Amino acid sequence: MIDVGSTLPEVTFGLMKDGKMTSPHTNDLFGGKRVVVFAVPGAFTPTCSEAHLPGYVALADKIKAKGVDSIICLSVNDAYVMDAWGKSANAEEILMVADGNAFFTKSIGLDMNTSDFGGIRSMRYSMLVEDGEVVKLNVEDPGRFEVSDAETMLNSL
């Protein structure tokens, strides 16, 4: 599993921009930037939609005021689903990034198999990344939502 001090792997993501699919690479999203990323098991799922994403939406300005260039919400979903979820949650300040094939999630060792829920998904976590290097990492225990929330991240910045 990835840890503090690790460099993020170079992969391709999915991201809707101005109504069009784009395919940014790790360096495009994290290179030369200070980024908060939080990952969820699935878009439109209960804890993710009722607490995780809304917390980051509500605190986005305060997080960015701490010198964060961007906030990324990551899920093993496609870019269209992530875009629709972001719009439904008024997440204009959050980059809704898709890891459709779970290449990133698997390569950092934060994948889990939820066969009855949807197959390979991401564990719930948050991290602070500076120029592609993990500076802070908060991984939730299965079924928990205690350390990857926006308030915890804001307080650690």
Q: What is the pLDDT of residue 61?
A: 98
Q: Choose, from 37, 40, 43, 48, the residue flagged as catalytic.
A: 48
Q: Model confidence over 77-119: pLDDT tens digits?
A: 999 999 999 999 999 999 999 999 999 999 999 999 887 777 8
Dist. CA 146–CA 138, nearest whole Å: 9
Whether residue 73 lies in the annotated active site = no
The strand pairing partners of 34, in sequence order, are 130
The structural architecture, per CATH, of the domain 15-140 is 3-Layer(aba) Sandwich (3.40)
71 sits in which H/E element: strand 70-75
Dist. CA 9–CA 27, nearest whole Å: 9
Q: Token pair of 139, please?
A: 């991984």
Residues 6+ apart with CB under 8 A from 30: 8, 129, 131, 132
Quick one: DSSP state of residue 136?
A: E
